[in-house]
Amino acid sequence: MGWIKRNLFFVVGGILALGLLGGAGFFIYTGWARNSEKSSKLNEIYGKLQTISQEKPSPGNDKVNNTQIAREQEKQVRDWIASAGKFFQNIAAIPARAAVTSEAYAAALRQTIDTLQHEADRASVTLPPKYDFSFSAQRSLVKFAGGSLPPLAAQLGAVKAISEILFAARVNDLESIQRVRVSDDDTAGLASDYIDELPITNDLAILTPYMVTFRSFTPELARVINGFADSPNPFIVKSVSVQPAGASTVAAAPGEGAPYAPAAENMVDRRYRRGYMPLPGAVPAPQQQPAGRGGLQTVLKEQLLRVTLEVEIVKLLPGKN
C-alpha cells in the first residue's frame, strides 16, 4: 500500500491507460467487423457487375455506354409513339353517349343506315337490296340484349367509318361488311353479317377485326387502301384477297390514239398513252377502226376485281396513348 501511495499518479495513469487500451481494442474490433461486412457486400457488387458485363448485350465500357444508348432509344420510341398518336384517334360510337339506351340506339341505327344508303347512292356505289350494313339482326328491334348496347354502338361507328372510306373511293359494288358477334341478338342475324373471329387484347390495345368485300377496278382499290392509311382512325389492313369478278371496257376520248394493248386479255399491267414507246417484243396496238362505224373505239380492257379486305381497328388501352 505504501508503494501505491508513493506512486499514486503512476497507478492511476496505468489504470487509465489500460482502460483506453481496452476501449481502443473494442473500437478496432467493431471497425474490423464493419469493414468485413462492407467488404463482403462490395465483393458481391463486383461479382454482379462482372456478371452483367459478360451478358449480351452488356451495359458497355469506357468507350461505349450501352445504358445511355438504350435510354436514348427509349426516348426515340416514346417520341414516335407520341407523334403516331394522331393516327390512333378512337372512332366515335353511335350514339356517342356514356350511357346508351335502347331507344337512342334504335333511332341512331336506323338513321345511320339510311344516311349510309344515301351516301352510297350519291357515290354511285351499288349495295345489296335493302342492305343493313351487317345490322340486320338489330334493324327491327326496339329492345336489345342486356350489356350489348355499348359494343353495338362502337361497331356502328366503326362500320360507318369503313363504309365512308369505300364510298369516298367510289368502289363499284359493296358486297358486305362483316363484324364479330357481340350480342345475343346476333344469333338471329344473317350468317353473312359476321366473321368467326374474336377481338384480341394485348399489352397495348384491343384489336377488333372486320371483313369488307367489294368489287372495283385497280384505281378504286388503291384509293381504298390509301383511305385506310390516311385515316386518323386506327385502321390496320391485315390482308388483301383479290379475285377476278368480270371485265369492263374503257373507251378512249375522241381524237386520242390507241395506247399499247397488253398481251394477256383482260389484264392491264401497263397503260401507254400516245407518244410512249412500247416495250420490246410487245404486241402491236390494235388498228384504228374504219371510219363510219360509229361509237367509241375500245382501247383498254380491265378486269373487274372482287376484293376482300381484313381490317383491324385498334383501340389503345387507357394510359397507352
Given the C-alpha cell 340486320, which residue does it identify?
136
Domain boundaries, the chain: 1-56, 91-249+303-316
How is residue 263 annotated by DSSP?
Answer: S
Q: pTM for this structure?
A: 0.61
Given the C-alpha cell 381504298, which residue does it identify?
224
Query: CATH number of 91-249+303-316: 3.90.226.10, 3.40.50.1100, 3.30.70.60, 1.10.150.20?
Result: 3.30.70.60
Q: Which three cell numbers stand for residue 117?
A: 344508303
pLDDT for residue 278:
43
- 197 and 296 in contact (C-beta within 8 Å)? no
CA neighbor of 91 nearest in space, from 144, 164, 142: 164
Give the three-state DSSP class for 310: strand
Give the three-state DSSP class for 109: helix
Q: What whole-number distance in Å separates Cα of residue 181 and Cα of residue 225?
A: 25
CA neighbor of 302 nearest in space, from 224, 221, 225: 221
How is residue 63 annotated by DSSP?
Answer: S
CA neighbor of 124 nearest in space, from 166, 83, 90: 166
The runs of H, that is alpha helices, within 123-182 are 136-139, 149-169
Given the C-alpha cell 386520242, which residue does it identify?
256
Radius of gyration (Cα) for the chain, nearest Å?
39
Residue by residue, pLDDT tens for the chain (321 residues) are 676 666 666 767 777 778 877 777 777 878 777 888 888 888 888 787 777 666 666 666 666 777 788 888 889 888 887 777 777 788 999 998 778 899 999 999 999 999 999 999 999 999 999 999 999 999 999 999 988 999 999 999 999 999 999 999 999 999 999 999 999 999 988 999 999 989 999 888 889 999 999 999 999 999 999 999 988 888 999 999 999 985 443 333 333 333 333 333 333 333 333 233 444 444 444 555 555 455 666 556 678 999 999 999 998 887 665
Q: What whole-number distance in Å separates Cα of residue 315 and Cα of residue 208?
A: 8
Q: Which three cell numbers stand for residue 251?
A: 373507251
- 206 and 317 in contact (C-beta within 8 Å)? yes
Q: How far apart are the first and last CA of the chain?
A: 92
pLDDT for residue 320:
62
Q: Which three cell numbers stand for residue 140?
A: 327491327
DSSP-assigned states of every residue in 285-306:
PPPPPPTTS-SPPEEEEEEEEE
